[in-house]
């Protein structure tokens, strides 16, 4: 990616690099729409999916992206690997590299795992989500989806609703949207708003009706039941009542507001089924665009230029 | 063997004065303090331009032995102390086995006599296994040589247990040192809860986790009359609570570490596990408050909380890394660079916080620069600057976030019981 070797987060990436990825993803999306979805761009390159957390959609999306570009793909999941035998991350990473890989895509439950990897191996590292830190390809696919639908990002009002505290998607989104000139609001229960989140430049709300007023884009985050046991909210019923997006609330946003969700959804809790399936919802397109954006990232990192 | 230290500037917090004198050391004691001493047969040490201090005392160190010898031993930890200018240290009981009985204390003292470079004063556990459930045999620990009680590394969570511990410690006239952390609030947190924990997506440890336990302990100390010492104060709120308690006349003392008066939570950016420490590095306001607390006497002691870890234990995910900084070999340079050279502490006050104050709290006859006192001396060169290079540490723990920082005021000679245990060699 011109100078960059890794994609760890959107906090430390500049606008030109984001634009390059999004523009490249446009071309990739065209490839995905062909009847034969395969180009030889990364033939002979090896890409390793190193997943320390269960994941279906992100892992599959990266795997498809790599395969459409003709790279060889290795999938390693923590439950079926040497991790179970007590090997530390550093040794696992070095072992994978010693076998020869060009890109390591890592998903890890702990923040900073992808950063660490960059100091230990020479291969490119793509962060596929590390704890509550970042999930940059999700942030990029959200940017891509909004740009595709709205034409621009600059000047849009984007609202993120839900468990901001534990959300890596929210952090990547905040950085990405702010860099591209959008205004960002976050909204959630006071117990799930991380300390000093306003210092990022995002506006902070605890009232969803106020937050989504005149919004161009509403991103609903998944609420996880175990947060209730940790005392972060009283009940799903009350959460849905205070923070769920339904038809009535959606009418507070702009008429053509987009509704997004990184998935998997809890229908009837953070988002009503009616809204999720409405014409304003672009949730399925997010998934399609995810493959194109990940193709772009892999192409730019894995030296597609000299292929 | 006799040693004669000539031409140095002596700092004596005991007498509250700074003066020029030569020091003659014989038979492990300070024999003569006088100007223009000449003695046949003494090894002469030129201390012109240098500061001669009573040997520094670290009230809070982890030597890791027994049990964690891959991280540190009594031999390597006391060598690190000597290199750092310390002639005595108190070691925390969170070894394996925990120093909760007299035999572990006896083992530490025996090892220290055999292999230690500096004086070692063990601290006994408050509760059995430091589990916070049943009191350890405090009187037996005291008889074996423990100088204080602490479950450091852990907080005594149960208020009733802490209340009983203080009553019992009071009965045998011993201080209790608490690691103040409400674990229901810190709950697997990895760094200070604030803007940087939000950026990094790491679970935060709020300032309140420390402050609510300090508030509790101050109340219990008031009720029991126990001498309470608060370990590693890290927040502005904690400083304020202790200041108010002292104003009320409570028998409470407190310590701060070089990392807490120097670094902020910003240090963690990039997931540098050498900056992972408990209590965590806080905000600039907290650093300023700790400095103010040192300046106005709210904080009595500068202690290292030396917490060495084997390299591979820190080369892991931030959440998986153990807490701790290997701090013995950078403490003096940080005190001089950050506190003395900035005018926050006078040289006399700085030395007091590393000699007479910890000696008084622990009840040990150390930290005195006078004829007849033990010949434990530290010579520092206030003009010498050095870049911190953990690769050169003699501690097994290289986990130190000050790597690359220039420090001014470097220990150049450490004498314990009249013997040179460290000499600066560049």
Residues in chain A with CB shorter than 8 Å from the CB of B204 are: 194-195
Peptide bond into B365 cis (omega under 30): no
Q: Is 70 exceeded by the pLDDT of residue A80? A: no
Distance of alpha carbon A177 from alpha carbon B93, whole angstroms: 51
- The domain over range B55-362 is classified in CATH as 3.20.20.140: yes
pTM across the whole model: 0.95
| A77 min Cα distance to partner chain B (Å) | 17
CB-based contact A194 B320, cutoff 8 Å? no
Mean pLDDT rounded to a whole number for chain B:
97
DSSP string, B228-259: EEE-S---HHHHHHHHHHHHTT--EEEEE-TT
Specify whether the CB–CB gap between B91 and B61 falls below 8 A: yes
Q: Give just the sign of the alpha carbon dihedral B190, B194, B196, B202.
A: positive
By the 8 A CB rule, do A257 and A282 touch?
A: no
Positions of B annotated as catalytic residues are 305
How far is residue A26's CA from residue B102's CA, in Å, rounded to a whole number?
73
Using CA atoms, how far apart are residues B122 and B403, in angstroms rounded to an integer? 29
- Model pLDDT, residue A85: 72
Q: How many CA atoms lie within 13 A of A187 on its CB side?
A: 25
Pick among B201, B202, B209 to test the A interface (most A CBs inside 10 A):
B201
Decide if A132 and B316 are in contact by the 8 Å CB cutoff. Answer: no
CA distance B30 to B370: 7
Q: Give the integer Cα–Cα distance in Å for A136 and A300.
A: 15
Confidence of residue A2 (pLDDT cuts 50, 70, 90): very low
Which chain B residue shows the shortest CA-CA distance from A130? B201
**Nearest C-alpha in B relative to A8:** B270
pLDDT for A225 = 84
Which segments of chain A does DSSP mark as H helices, in order?
15-32, 57-68, 89-98, 113-120, 136-150, 168-179, 208-211, 226-229, 236-243, 247-250, 273-276, 283-301
When pLDDT is cut at 50, 70 and 90, the band that residue A83 belongs to is low
User: What is the DSSP track for B155-175?
Assistant: ----HHHHHHHHHHHHHTT--
Report the alpha-carbon distance of residue A132 to residue B188 in Å, rounded: 14
- What φ, ψ does residue B191 adopt, rounded to 5°? -155, 175
CB nearest to B271's CB, from A115, A134, A200: A115
Q: Which residues of chain B have a CB within 8 Å of the CB of A171?
A: 199, 201
Write the pLDDT tens digit of every residue in A197-219. Answer: 999 999 999 999 999 999 999 99
State whether A110 and B317 contact (CB < 8 Å). Answer: yes
Note the CATH number of domain B2-51+373-423.
Answer: 2.30.40.10
Half-sphere exposure of B163 (CA within 13 A, CB side): 7
Q: HSE of B111 in the Cβ direction (CA atoms, 13 Å)?
A: 20
Instruction: Please state, in angstroms and rounded to a whole number, the distance separating the CA atoms of residues A243 and A229.
Output: 18
CB contacts under 8 A, A 197-226 vs B, are: 197, 199-200
Looking at the predicted structure, is the pLDDT value of residue A305 above 80? no
CA distance A133 to A166: 8
CB-CB under 8 Å, B316 with A112:
no
Do B201 and A132 count as a contact with CB atoms less than 8 A apart? yes
CA of A172 vs chain B CAs: smallest distance (Å): 10
Minimum CA–CA partner of B195 in chain A: A196
Write phi, then psi, for B309 (nearest 5 degrees).
-140, 140
**B202 vs A196: CB contact, 8 Å cut-off?**
no
Tens of pLDDT, residues B129-146: 999 999 999 999 999 999
Interface contact A116-B317, CB threshold 8 A:
yes
Give the per-residue SS3 of B43-74. Answer: EEEECCCCEEEECEEEEEECCCCCCCCCCCCH
pLDDT score at A303: 74
**CA distance, residue B68 to nearest chain A CA (Å):** 19
Q: In this complex, do B201 and A130 lie within 8 Å of one another by their Cβ atoms?
A: yes
In whole angstroms, give the CA distance from residue B334 to residue B260.
Answer: 11
B207: nearest CA in chain A? Answer: A195
pLDDT digits (tens, 9 = 90+) for A11-61: 999 999 999 999 999 999 999 999 999 999 999 999 999 999 988 899 999
Q: CA-nearest residue of chain A to B190?
A: A111
- Asked if B195 and B219 count as a contact pair (C-beta separation under 8 A), the reply is no
Q: Which of B112, B156, B111 shows the shortest CA–CA distance to B138? A: B156
Whole-number Å distance between alpha carbons of A228 and A69: 42
Q: Is A294 on the interface with B (CB under 8 A)?
A: no
Q: Would you state the pLDDT for residue B209? A: 98
Domain ranges of chain B: 2-51+373-423, 55-362
Find residue B410's DSSP bridge partners.
B381
């Amino acid at each position: 990616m011109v100078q960059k070797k890794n994609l760890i987060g959107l906090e430390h990436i500049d606008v030109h690099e984001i634009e390059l990825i999004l523009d490249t993803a446009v071309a990739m999306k065209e490839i995905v729409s062909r009847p034969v979805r395969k180009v030889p761009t990364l033939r002979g390159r090896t890409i390793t999916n190193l997943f320390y957390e269960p994941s279906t959609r992100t892992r599959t999306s990266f795997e498809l992206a790599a395969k459409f570009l003709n790279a060889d793909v290795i999938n390693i999941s923590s439950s079926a690997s040497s991790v179970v035998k007590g090997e530390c991350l550093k040794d696992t990473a070095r072992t994978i590299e010693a076998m020869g890989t060009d890109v390591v895509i890592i998903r890890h439950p702990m923040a900073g795992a992808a950063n660490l990897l960059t100091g230990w191996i020479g291969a490119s590292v793509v962060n596929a989500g590390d704890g509550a830190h970042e999930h940059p390809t999700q942030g990029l696919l959200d940017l891509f989806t909004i740009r595709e639908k709205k034409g621009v990002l600059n000047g849009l009002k984007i609202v993120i609703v839900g468990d901001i505290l534990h959300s890596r998607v929210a952090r990547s989104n905040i950085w990405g949207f702010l860099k591209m000139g959008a205004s960002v609001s976050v909204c959630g229960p006071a117990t799930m708003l991380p300390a000093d989140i306003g210092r990022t430049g995002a506006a902070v709300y605890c009232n969803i009706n106020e937050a989504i007023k005149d919004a161009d884009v509403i991103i609903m985050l998944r609420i996880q039941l175990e947060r209730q046991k940790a005392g972060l909210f009283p009940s799903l019923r009350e959460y849905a009542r205070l923070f769920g997006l339904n038809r009535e609330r959606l009418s507070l946003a702009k008429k053509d507001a987009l509704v997004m969700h990184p998935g998997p959804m809890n229908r009837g809790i953070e988002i009503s089924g009616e809204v999720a399936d409405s014409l304003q919802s672009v949730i399925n397109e997010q998934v399609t665009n995810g493959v194109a954006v990940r193709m772009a990232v892999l192409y730019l990192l894995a030296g597609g230029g000299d292929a | 063997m006799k040693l004669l230290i000539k031409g140095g500037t002596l700092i004596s917090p005991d007498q509250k004065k700074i003066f020029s004198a030569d020091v003659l050391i014989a038979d492990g004691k300070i024999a003569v303090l006088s100007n223009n001493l000449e003695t046949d047969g003494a090894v002469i040490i030129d201390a012109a331009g240098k500061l001669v201090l009573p040997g520094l005392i670290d009230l809070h160190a982890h030597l890791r032995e027994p049990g964690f010898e891959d991280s540190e031993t009594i031999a390597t930890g006391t060598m690190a102390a000597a290199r750092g200018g310390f002639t005595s240290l108190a070691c925390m009981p969170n070894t394996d086995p925990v120093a909760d009985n007299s035999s572990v204390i006896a083992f530490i003292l025996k090892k220290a006599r055999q292999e230690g470079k500096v004086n070692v004063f063990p601290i006994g556990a408050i509760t059995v296994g430091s589990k916070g459930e049943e009191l350890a045999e405090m009187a037996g620990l005291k008889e074996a040589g423990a100088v204080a009680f602490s479950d450091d590394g852990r907080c005594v969570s149960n208020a009733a247990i802490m209340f009983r511990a203080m009553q019992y410690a009071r009965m045998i006239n011993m201080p209790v040192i608490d690691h103040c952390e409400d674990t229901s609030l810190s709950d697997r947190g990895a760094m200070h809860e604030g803007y940087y924990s939000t950026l990094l997506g790491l679970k935060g440890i709020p300032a309140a986790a420390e402050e609510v336990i300090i508030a509790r302990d101050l109340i219990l100390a008031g009720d029991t009359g126990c001498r309470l010492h608060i370990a590693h104060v890290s927040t502005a709120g904690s400083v304020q609570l202790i200041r108010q308690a002292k104003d009320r006349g409570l028998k409470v003392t407190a310590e701060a570490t070089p990392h807490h008066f120097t670094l902020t939570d910003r240090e963690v950016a990039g997931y540098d596990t050498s900056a992972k420490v408990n209590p965590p590095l806080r905000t600039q306001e907290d650093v300023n408050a700790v400095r103010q607390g040192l300046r106005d006497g709210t904080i009595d002691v500068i202690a290292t909380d030396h917490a060495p870890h084997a390299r591979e234990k820190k080369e892991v995910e931030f959440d998986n890394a153990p807490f701790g900084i290997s701090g013995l070999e950078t403490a003096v340079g940080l005190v001089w660079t950050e506190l003395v050279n900035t005018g926050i502490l006078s040289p006399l006050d700085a030395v007091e916080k590393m000699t007479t104050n910890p000696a008084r709290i622990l009840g040990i006859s150390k930290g005195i620069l006078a004829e007849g006192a033990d010949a434990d001396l530290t010579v520092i060169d206030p003009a010498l600057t050095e870049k911190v290079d953990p690769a050169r540490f003699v501690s097994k723990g290289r986990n130190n976030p000050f790597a690359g920082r220039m420090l001014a005021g470097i220990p150049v000679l450490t004498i314990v019981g009249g013997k040179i245990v460290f000499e600066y060699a560049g």
